[in-house]
Every structure is written in C-alpha cells, then in structure tokens.
Amino acid sequence: MLAVTGSGGPRIAALNEAAEAAGLALGETLADARAKTGRVQTRAVDTTADDAALRRLALWATRYTPTASPWSEENGADGLFLDIEGAAHLFGGEEKLLADLSLRLTKNFGLPARLAVADTPGMAWALARFHTPFLPRPAGEDKYVIVPSGQEAQALAPLAIEALRLSPDICRTLRRLGFKTVGALLDKPRAPFAARFPAELLQRIDQALGRIEEPLKPIVAPPVYHTLRYLLEPIFTQEAIVALARRHMQTLAQVLVRDDVGARGLRLSLYRVDGGVETIDIALTLPSRDVAHIVRLIDLKLEALAAAEDAGFGFEAVGLAVTRAERIAARQNELIADDTGGDGAEGCALLVDTLRQRLGPHSVRGFAPVASHLPERAEKLAPITISSSLATGELREETNGAAAWPEPDRTTRPLLLLPHAEPTEVMALIPDGPPRRFRWRGVTYEVAGAQGPERIGAEWWHLSAQPAPANASARLQALTRDYYLVEDADGHRFWLYREGLYERETVAARWFVHGLFA
C-alpha cells in the first residue's frame, strides 16, 4: 500500500486487494494498519510521478473524445473526466464506449476502472466512487453505471456525503451533526448551511445537480475541427500514416470550405496498440485548406521526427485535428487574374512552411522592426510569421513586442548594411561638406557624385539611462550623424556618415562607411 504524510502521522493513500481483504481502509493511520495486520509493506506516494502518469493516460483517452481532463486530488492523481457528448455514437452508444474503455484500460495498462456517465462531472465522480455496484465489485460484473438525464438527485441521494468532493473537515462536521448521506442535505433549507459552512458545500451540491457550471481544463486545447479513424489492423509505415492523413485532410477540407476558413495549426495524433500516443503539430504560415500542401508538410515532419520507427506494435487509430482556424475570403482563381499580390503571398507561405518542417520552426527568420531610428538598431532577426490581410492579400511579419514597420518615405537605404560601421579616411572641400575622396579597406575612391546629407540625431535617452562612468574624466557623448550616398567613377555606391557636428559637437569629425548599394 501507499502512504502519505497527514495529521497524526502517515496515512494510507492507496490499497491493493490483499490490504482491503485484511480490513484496512483509505485514510487510516499507518500505525493502526500495522496494529491490525502486524506486517505491511508500504511505499511513499510520489505525487509528481502519479500526475505525469495521469496526464499520459488523459492524452491516450483523447482517442474517445477530444476533451479529456485529468482530475488530481490533494494526495495526487485520481481519475479522468471525459466529455463524450457528441462522441458516444461513434462507438454505438454510451454502454459500448464504456465497455471498450474498460477493456482497453485493463488490457493496455492493467488498470481496473470504475466508470460512470452523467450530465455533470460532479455526478459522474460521485457515482464512480460511491455507487453500490462498485462496493464491493462482483467478479465479472461490468463496472460502470449510467444515470439518465433528470435523475441526478435520486441517484445522488443515497450516496455518502464524501461523494460531494468535500474537504475532510467539512465531512467530519456534517457527520457529527448527523448528516451521513447526500439526501439528508438535499431535504434541508440552504440558509443554515450557507451561514455555518464554507461556500464549498453548496457549490459542490449545485455542481453535481447541474445548477451551476463546472468548467474542466482539457489535457490539450479543444480542436476547432477534428476527425478520428479506428483501424481494423494496426499500421506501421510512414507511407500508411501519410495516406490516412490525406483521407483525414480531405474530410476536413470539405468542412473548412463550407465555413470559409482555413487551417493555421493542425495536430496529428497516432494512437499505438500498447497505449502510447504520438502527437505531431503542424503550423502553417497562412490559413490553408490545400490537401496536397498540408499532407506534404505532415510527411516532412514524420520524416524529421522518425515517428513511424517507434510504432511498437503499430498504430490502431489516427486522428487529425485543426487546432487553429482563420477565415479565408472567397475569391476567383481561374477566370480573373489576382492583381492583389495574393499569389505571391501564398507562394512565400508555402516556401516558409516547407523550410520550417525541414529546418525547424525557429530556423526561418526575417527582419522585424524595432522602435529606433538608428539604422543598426532599427531591425532585428526574429522567427518569421506571415499573416495575410483578407481584404488586400497584403503580406507582413508578426513579431512579439516589436514596433510596426514605418510608413514608406523618400529616404534611401543600402541593400547591405555592414554589421558595424567601419572607419574611413575622407577628404572634403569644407569640414561640414560632402566627401570628395575617401580611402576604405586600403582602396582610394574618387567621388563622382554625392547625395545628402540625411541627418540622424543620437538617441541621447539611452545614454542618460546608463550609470555614470567610474572615471571622472570619461564622458558619454551623443553625436549627430550626417549620412551621404556617394558614387565613385566606376558606378559603385556607398553609404557614408560623418559623426559629430563641426564646431558644435566636435572639432575633428570622424567618417564611417555604413553600407553598400547594389
């Protein structure tokens, strides 16, 4: 048995059949258990491992419904909530679904299960633990119960008050007052209970009876669209998985077209015969319902992850879900040419999707704007996420926390911006005039023409925010830049700037080469 630290010393948290036969009970102190049996084997409860195992089991249970939620009590993992509304008919009804679930839990995991179906999570929880057919459990009897809608109060009334998922202190107080069953509470006025007990008591009653909602937190985000296929024979190869994914996507594409939306995120779920689950997430740059493109991305992802090589005894079910969908505006592709640039955006998106699957989601990067007017700080490399304006087909980059690209203006920027501005020797007719000749990287260039200056002020607020230098003679300066676009006699164009205003910020201005034009 398993023990957990509690008031009065270690207490029993889990029992096997031999311990139950010896008369031991959950919550009993370990000292009393040893006094009854004389010799017991105990282990400490590992709540972290229990919660992790419960999460894996909940992920496996998504083969029955996309909404599977693990339930953990104070002492660790406890059970699962499955929202089977709209899914039971796929198995021939609720009874056949429960029978299949019970069989697979025993066969795949060696877990005997107590299953119950009700309109509310609280009602199902109470029935699965305190309904009389489970206590004791006859050998060979189906261990599940189904409560018809509207009969929650009758089914809940004979159960012990612990069936309401109340704290131990509240249960002890109720028993001292003579309340042993839930039905004894249902017949009494609510005001005295509200005045004497915490709000948890009436809240649990209302949740079990469906008077108030009890939201559940699913193990994975509920999909927007979902399809699942159970196989007569397990599959093993990547080709078989891709072929089945194609059929799934063809089914989903019809629904996406009906709703005028496209998939931006998909999840492929592979359910192994031994109970394991492999999930593969696909992110799309633009919303799409192109079956060939999405299936190709799935094939690339399977090849990169080698998911089929870890198939074990094979996959017995395959599901495909659209986890994120966005609207796609209807347009004519065949009769009227698209002049909005949408085809270019889609072509770029296809390329980005392919590169992501081959190189990784963070390997494809683009320039994102930064709120700075200094050229070397005005942009940064960030993972590229392209979105399309449904009205214009405009292509843009989305970045977290970055400023929007400024409106186009008449300023000219070089095609190649050097990582760091490089010093150069410049000769000018007047100190604050354009360059006539400059020497850079050991080569002298005669300037045939110059355009500018474009004056860019220094970001003095960054310097003022820095701590004062330790050396008193050291001094932080924010110098203005005058940029010139110059062209030599051979047609090569350079981007130069002079640092510091003559006789106002410096008496000997320095020159730098900052970029090159094509």
Ordered by start, the domain boundaries in the chain are 2-44, 51-209, 225-328, 353-397, 416-516
Smallest CA-to-CA distance from 159 within 134, 142, 177 is with 134
User: Which 3 state secondary structure label does DSSP give 313?
Assistant: coil
* Residue 476 pLDDT level (bands cut at 50, 70, 90): very low
Tokens of 144: 């599940």
d(CA 76, CA 478): 60
pLDDT at 333 over 60: no
Which of the two residues, 241 and 354, has the higher pLDDT score?
241
Task: Supply the angle between the helices 200-209 and 121-130 in degrees, to the nearest 10.
Answer: 90
Which of the two residues, 154 and 365, has the higher pLDDT score?
154
Which of the two residues, 75 and 367, has the higher pLDDT score?
367
pLDDT at 174 over 60: yes
d(CA 488, CA 324): 54
Contact 210, 119 (CB under 8 A): yes
Lowest mean pLDDT, pick from 39-48, 153-162, 509-518: 39-48
Which of the two residues, 23 and 406, has the higher pLDDT score?
23
d(CA 495, CA 485): 5
Paired sense of beta strands 510-516 and 416-428, if any: antiparallel
pLDDT at 294 over 70: yes
How confident is the model at residue 293, as a pLDDT? 92
- 119-149, pLDDT tens digit by residue? 999 999 999 888 865 544 444 445 678 998 8
- 236-267, pLDDT tens digit by residue? 889 999 999 999 999 999 999 999 999 999 99
How confident is the model at residue 391, as a pLDDT? 32
How confident is the model at residue 410, as a pLDDT? 55
* Residue 185 pLDDT level (bands cut at 50, 70, 90): very high
pLDDT at 463 over 50: yes
Tokens of 208: 């079990």
Helices (H), 382-435: none
* Residue 399 pLDDT level (bands cut at 50, 70, 90): very low
Lowest mean pLDDT, pick from 94-103, 112-121, 324-333, 494-503: 324-333
- Arithmetic mean of pLDDT, 138-163: 81
Lowest mean pLDDT, pick from 113-127, 333-347, 402-416, 496-510: 333-347
CA distances from 293 to 43, 274, 357 (A): 53, 31, 12
Which of the two residues, 497 and 285, has the higher pLDDT score?
497
- The C-alpha angle with vertex 206 and arms to 187 and 113, in degrees rounded to 5, equals 105
d(CA 432, CA 501): 8
In terms of phi and psi (left: phi > 0; alpha: psi -120 to 50; beta: otherwise), the region of 76 is left
d(CA 9, CA 90): 49
Which of the two residues, 68 and 331, has the higher pLDDT score?
68
- Arithmetic mean of pLDDT, 343-352: 72
* Residue 411 pLDDT level (bands cut at 50, 70, 90): low
> What's the CATH number for 225-328?
3.30.1490.100
Which of the two residues, 406 and 297, has the higher pLDDT score?
297
Contact 450, 435 (CB under 8 A): yes
The per-residue pLDDT of the chain, averaged, comes to 82
- Arithmetic mean of pLDDT, 63-89: 82
How confident is the model at residue 276, as a pLDDT? 86
- 379-396, pLDDT tens digit by residue? 888 777 655 333 333 334
d(CA 237, CA 86): 31
**Which residue's entry shows tokens 């057919």?**
133
pLDDT at 209 over 90: yes
How many H helices and E strands in the chain? 14, 21
